[in-house]
Amino acid sequence: MNWGIIKALVYKDFFLFFRNRFIGIVTILGLVLYIVFYFVMPKTIDESLEIGLYAPVNIPAFEQVQAEGLVLTTVESEERLKEAVIDGDYVAGIALPSDALETLIAGQVPDIKLYIASDVPEEIKDSVVVIIKELAYQQAGQPLTVDIKEEVLGTDMAGMQIPPRDRLRPMLAIYLILFETFGLANLIAEELSKGTVRALLVTPMSSRDLFTGKGIFGVGFAFIQAVFFMAIVGGLNNQPVIILLALLLGSMMAAALGFLIGSLAKDFMSVLAWGMIIFILMAIPGFGVMFPGAVTGWITYVPSYYLVDTVHRVASFGAGWGDIWLNLVILLIFDAVVFWIGILGIRRRAL
Amino acid sequence: MAGNAIVAENLTYMYGNLVAVDHIDFSIAEGEILGFLGPNGAGKTTTVKMLTGQLKPKEGKATLLGMDVARNVEKVQGDIGVCFETTNLYEKMSARENLNLFARLFGIKDFNPDSLLEKVGLAGRGKDRVETYSKGMKQRLMVARSLVNRPKVLFLDEPTAGLDPTSSDAILDIILEERDRGATVFLTTHDMLEADKISDHVAFMNQGKIVAIDTPLNLKQQYGKRALKAKISSKTGGLEDREIILDTPETPQTIQQLFSEENVITVHSEEATLEDIFIIITGRGLIE
């Protein structure tokens, strides 16, 4: 391999990358905006559940409830309660009937009204229903007659909630990395369609120099941005070596996809068309971290899941080598396979 | 006597079952210009690709400057310059940036792009992006790029195609300058007049084979006929054409009779063109 030639090629690609104003501006703007997005997201978690209560009669269990994270506020009328829920003052409102106490003491079921705002998530609604039932049982003095066994599926994160900004971090990091797929793919597609690759290959540059140069540019550019971002947002505070390795493998994934798309595309528009399909697919695992429960088990078939999962677990929960080594191996295998396919595609068109 | 810069021995290439280059043999002496002529699909580009190391021959051997091309691709490519038929420049870069890039790829230090730009008539436009250039300017920059490493062998594929006569002449002058410098030039072209004008030898390629290779003069003597064509004023007041074949024993007398007995309006000599000879040899024209 001729490192002087590779250096010249990397320099040329870097230069041409920013000559495409669209990609150049979006790259810099993206990096800045992602950092801004991170810092404008809340850095603390507000897990309190504010519920309004209208109780025409005094029911001690409801009025004296002391639960962590539960704020029960009494309002003067049922109408006022409805307005407050609609205005978003409370996630839910409980309206007790005037005969609630007698009904409970008699062991009967009182007719309790629950007002829920239209945009409240299902799990909040379920929580409020559970709270009401629990309070009703407390007041009635009748214990639950069923024995509930709890089983946690997956990693038990109970009590380990993280702020939204830290939840956003792996998603933004992978978006930064994935965006470089477009830039590299565009450079390769142009090189192939305009025939400049033929001009390069009649100089002392070998095809191995060509692929090495393109790979170094693609991986290096994505990696530098991702590391810069993670350093700014505190993503390297836990296990920095693992995070750096994961970001490197992620950057290799972006470069490999760039090779693949570049070998298929004819111009910038077809790079966008192919790239968006892959980008959207690869971006989904990021949502899984941001919105837990939004995606299901099939997400493990998306290769970027192993990058997001590694960054998320290591940066946010301090996971170690033993927890994520398999993720890194899967990423490495995926990178190698896609690089190989991309190189074959480029060779077929260029040589 | 100079040695051979390019030697092709039994050179063959096939795309699947299609034989693109069919066991061809030829050689070009150092410091010569070879005009490589043939219609589209004759196998010219495939031959050039094998000579420049872009394709590995399926059979036979190509030797450049004494080196087996297939075994010494990168070494050979350090000594050659290639100008492609279709423009393949980095259009978002300036002319200087394009030339500097290729100088770095050839490992040339202290490279001055301006002298090369001046040589091809692009002085003062070096800082402009190539995308702002006309077709002729781009073609001249392509030629300049192929000269970055002062190549010992220069491959030019249709370097004047589609250019105006001024740009075309400028490029032909550069080719002759390179020949005078000592470079060997492999010129692929459709333009018979151009090939005739500057080539030391011409090779005709047809259906993957070299059907003739010689100096333009020898080919004309071997395949063509020399004649005088005259227009005379006839007795009825119109014009008549007369053709007198040269190189026959009766020629001097026939010419004398023409001028003494007829009212000659115009007279000019005529020799076979390379196009005529190509048609004689292959039974087909260059442009089909």
pTM higher than 0.90, yes or no? no
Look at residue A47 in the predicted model and tell me its pLDDT. Answer: 64
Q: Does B106 touch chain A (CB under 8 A)?
A: yes
* CA-to-CA separations, A140 to A102, A107, A130, B264, B280, in angstroms, rounded: 10, 7, 15, 135, 115
Residues B70-116: tens digit of each pLDDT: 999 999 999 999 999 889 999 999 999 999 999 999 999 889 999 99
In A, minimum Cα distance to B129 occurs at: A19
Of A106 and B39, more confident: B39
The pLDDT tens digits along chain A (351 residues) read 889 999 999 999 999 988 888 888 888 898 999 999 999 888 776 667 788 888 887 777 666 665 656 788 888 888 898 888 888 788 788 888 888 777 777 767 677 788 887 666 666 777 777 777 777 677 666 654 444 444 444 444 545 567 888 888 888 999 999 988 998 999 999 999 999 999 999 999 999 999 999 999 999 999 999 999 999 998 898 889 999 999 999 999 999 999 999 999 988 899 999 999 999 999 999 888 877 666 677 888 999 999 999 999 898 888 899 999 999 999 999 999 999 999 999 998 876
- Would you list the DSSP string of chain B? ---EEEEEEEEEEEETTEEEEEEEEEEEETT-EEEEE--TTSSHHHHHHHHTTSS--SEEEEEETTEETTTSHHHHHTSEEEE-SS----TTSBHHHHHHHHHHHTT-SS--HHHHHHHTT-TT-TTSBGGGS-HHHHHHHHHHHHTTT--SEEEEESTTTT--HHHHHHHHHHHHHHHHHT-EEEEEES-HHHHHHH-SEEEEEETTEEEEEE-HHHHHHHH---EEEEEEE-TTSSEEEEEEESSSTTHHHHHHHHHHHSEEEEEEEE---HHHHHHHHHSS-S--
Phi/psi for B274 (5° steps) reads: -60, -30
Contacts of B104 in chain A (CB under 8 A): 4-5, 8
C-alpha to C-alpha distance for A174 and A180, rounded to whole angstroms: 10
A 10 A CB-CB count for A205 gives: 23
- Would you list the DSSP string of A177-241? HHHHHHHHHHHHHHHHHTSHHHHHTTTT--HHHHHHHHHHHHHHHHHHHHHHHHHHTTTTSS-HH
Q: Does B93 touch chain A (CB under 8 A)?
A: yes
Crossing angle for the helix pair B165-181 and B135-146, to the nearest 10 degrees: 10
Q: Where is average pLDDT lowest: A334-343, B68-77, B179-188, B216-225?
A: B216-225
User: Which of A203, A212, A348 to mutate to probe the B interface, most B CBs <10 Å?
Assistant: A203
> Of B286, B98, B76, which Cα lies nearest the Cα of B184?
B76
> Of A266, A270, A302, A265, which Cα lies nearest the Cα of A287?
A302
Q: Does A20 touch chain B (CB under 8 A)?
A: yes
Nearest to B104 among A8, A20, A201 (CB): A8
Answer whether A203 sits within 8 Å of B89, measured CB to CB.
no
Q: List the beta strands (DSSP E) in chain A.
A: 49-54, 70-74, 92-95, 113-116
CA angle, B154 as apex, B187 and B137 as ends, to 5°? 80
Nearest to B105 among A16, A198, A203 (CB): A203
The predicted model gives B264-282 an average pLDDT of 83
Interface confidence (ipTM) of the complex:
0.85
Phi/psi for B39 (5° steps) reads: -70, 170
Answer whether B105 sits within 8 Å of A206, measured CB to CB.
no
C-beta separation of B205 from B35 below 8 A: no
Nearest to A204 among B54, B74, B86 (CB): B74
Polymer length of chain B: 288
C-alpha to C-alpha distance for A310 and A250, rounded to whole angstroms: 10
Q: Does A138 touch chain B (CB under 8 A)?
A: no
C-alpha to C-alpha distance for A124 and A119, rounded to whole angstroms: 10
Read off the DSSP letter of residue A95: E
Look at residue B285 in the predicted model and tell me its pLDDT. Answer: 64
Phi/psi for A212 (5° steps) reads: -65, -45
DSSP β-bridge partners for residue A190: none
The predicted model gives B240-260 an average pLDDT of 87
Q: What is the largest CA-CA distance in chain A?
A: 95
Answer whether B92 sits within 8 Å of A16, measured CB to CB.
yes
Nearest to A198 among B75, B88, B145 (CB): B88
Q: Does B96 touch chain A (CB under 8 A)?
A: no
Rg of chain B taking only CA atoms, in angstroms: 23
Look at residue A158 in the predicted model and tell me its pLDDT. Answer: 47
Answer whether B105 sits within 8 Å of A5, measured CB to CB.
yes
Q: Does A195 touch chain B (CB under 8 A)?
A: yes
A 10 A CB-CB count for A245 gives: 18
Look at residue B91 in the predicted model and tell me its pLDDT. Answer: 94
Query: How close does chain B come to A308, measured CA to CA in Å?
Result: 36
Answer whether B88 sits within 8 Å of A195, measured CB to CB.
yes
